[in-house]
Amino acid sequence: MDSSRPSWTSRYSFILASIGSAVGLGNIWRFPYIMGKYGGAVFLIVYLFLILTICFIPLLAELATGKILKKECIGAYESVNPKFKPLGFLNPLTGVLISSFYFVVGGWIINYIYISFVSYKTSDFSGYFSSFIQGSTLPVIFTLLFLFMCMFFISRGIKKGIEFANNVLMPLFAVLLIGLIIFSLNLPNANLGIEYMFKPDFSKVSAEMFLAALGQALFTLSIGMGALLTYGSYIKEDKSIVKSTYTIIFSDTMFALMAGVMIFPAIFSFGLEPNSGAGLVFVTLPNIFAKIPFGNVVSAAFFILLFCAALTSGISILEVAIASFTERMKISRIKASVILFIIISAIAIPASLSFGKLYGVTLFGKTIFDFLDFTTSSILMPLNTLFLCIIAGWFLKIKGSQFISNKFFAVLFDIGLKFIIPTVLIGVLWAGLK
């Protein structure tokens, strides 16, 4: 085994970094708007069910594969069978593609932090947001700035970079979140937002909602891109990873729910609609901030919170490719970061411009941004998860009994990993491609 491989300082730092990876734009930006789109509480019920049953298995399997093989994705798959090398390669590739649009949104967040401090004059954020993202200069500069910040931490290594970022940003994130929840719950009619989240309307159940809930669950837990495999490969102590898996799932779900409790009461309190899609946090919320006293302070707090969440997730997305670069090409982390910065910029800049100048450039009928979002969340992530389950279950022969003491659950894990999850994922892929 390679003794020069980095490892986590402690189990705590591993769990914190994995929670940092899980909790991101997926929880605060995507979860509330997808929940708003699919009718509130019913979506939540389906989502919670999927998180606790279907998602537990690939999450544990991905961590376990990393922990057992102690290699970056490509080498890990190759060591199971040299034929699997190309499948391993899909993981860093997916990471590069995800980051190219994730970081565009990261750039928008930086802009909103900036305007919270310097000018908060507009009261029509709908017009502001669309004209901002159509621009060619600021959105691109901020996207690259966000990428640069992630790269800065990444290039400093596991302990000084990744652990440090999570140790600072995650507590800051939690404090800001709690503060904003208290603020939101004290607004008039806040209870309407809570009712919307927790009182189900079963007429809204649909097959499409199931797919959306599963896609959201995989994305928010960072499954299917090798991030957990890579983080798992840095675990050195021989402790069970089942508890870590629960902790990651529980924390991620709590943070998503807390994001809802922060956002929906404010929206209902101002008589606005919860189903405004991707603009929910960039249009609906700023419209509220513009109306309240000290709104720019609240706005700064909110977007700094979003920034912390996005940065710690961005780091985990990049680490997959960085680990592959450094271990396979034997280059330093700094060199690997520079190369990756160039590659990702080359995709992220067109993705950012696809709202404006490059709007007319389409791939399979989608703008560059939408194409990247669609290919990663609807195709590559389920596909990578499918390959992971098959390789872990059938070839590496991971068994539930290695980690889970309860016999019944251990067997359930085996059946899930080898049969149920692959079947569900094939269904998801088929539905996504239809």
Minimum Å gap between C-beta 223 and ligand TRP is 7
Decide whether 106 or 400 has the Cβ nearer to ligand TRP.
106
Minimum Å gap between C-beta 286 and ligand TRP is 20
What is the full DSSP assignment across 189-251? THHHHHHHHHS--GGG--HHHHHHHHHHHHHHTT-SSSHHHHHHHT--S---SHHHHHHHHHH
Minimum Å gap between C-beta 361 and ligand TRP is 25
CA pair distance 77, 390, nearest whole angstrom? 11
Minimum Å gap between C-beta 256 and ligand TRP is 8
The letter for the amino acid at 213 is A
Minimum Å gap between C-beta 218 and ligand TRP is 7
Decide whether 319 or 327 has the Cβ nearer to ligand TRP.
319
Phi, psi of 366 (to 5 degrees): -120, 150
| Closest residue by beta carbon to ligand TRP | 26
The letter for the amino acid at 217 is A
Decide whether 284 or 316 has the Cβ nearer to ligand TRP.
316
Q: Give contact residues for ligand TRP (rule: CB under 6 A).
A: 21-22, 24-27, 98, 219-220, 222, 225, 227, 313, 316-317
Q: Is 68 helix (H, G, I), strand (E, B) or coil?
A: helix
Closest by CA to 262, choosing from 177, 189, 173, 169, is 177
The partner residues of 362 in beta bridges, in order of sequence, read 367
Decide whether 345 or 385 has the Cβ nearer to ligand TRP.
385
Decide whether 94 or 299 has the Cβ nearer to ligand TRP.
94
Q: How far is CA 405 from CA 238, 372, 401, 408, in A?
A: 15, 41, 6, 9
Decide whether 25 or 213 has the Cβ nearer to ligand TRP.
25
Minimum Å gap between C-beta 30 and ligand TRP is 7
Q: How far apart are the first and last CA of the chain?
A: 44
What is the full DSSP assignment across 394-433? IIS---GGGT--SHHHHHHHHHIIIIIHHHHHHHHHHHHH
Decide whether 71 or 128 has the Cβ nearer to ligand TRP.
71
The encoded tokens of residue 151 equal 């790269």
Minimum Å gap between C-beta 349 and ligand TRP is 21
Minimum Å gap between C-beta 312 and ligand TRP is 9
Q: What is the DSSP letter of 271?
A: T
Cβ atoms within 10 Å of 178's Cβ, excluding its own: 12
Closest by CA to 137, choosing from 111, 106, 98, 103, is 111
Decide whether 317 or 424 has the Cβ nearer to ligand TRP.
317
Decide whether 211 or 292 has the Cβ nearer to ligand TRP.
211
Q: Is 270 helix (H, G, I), strand (E, B) or coil?
A: coil
Minimum Å gap between C-beta 428 and ligand TRP is 15
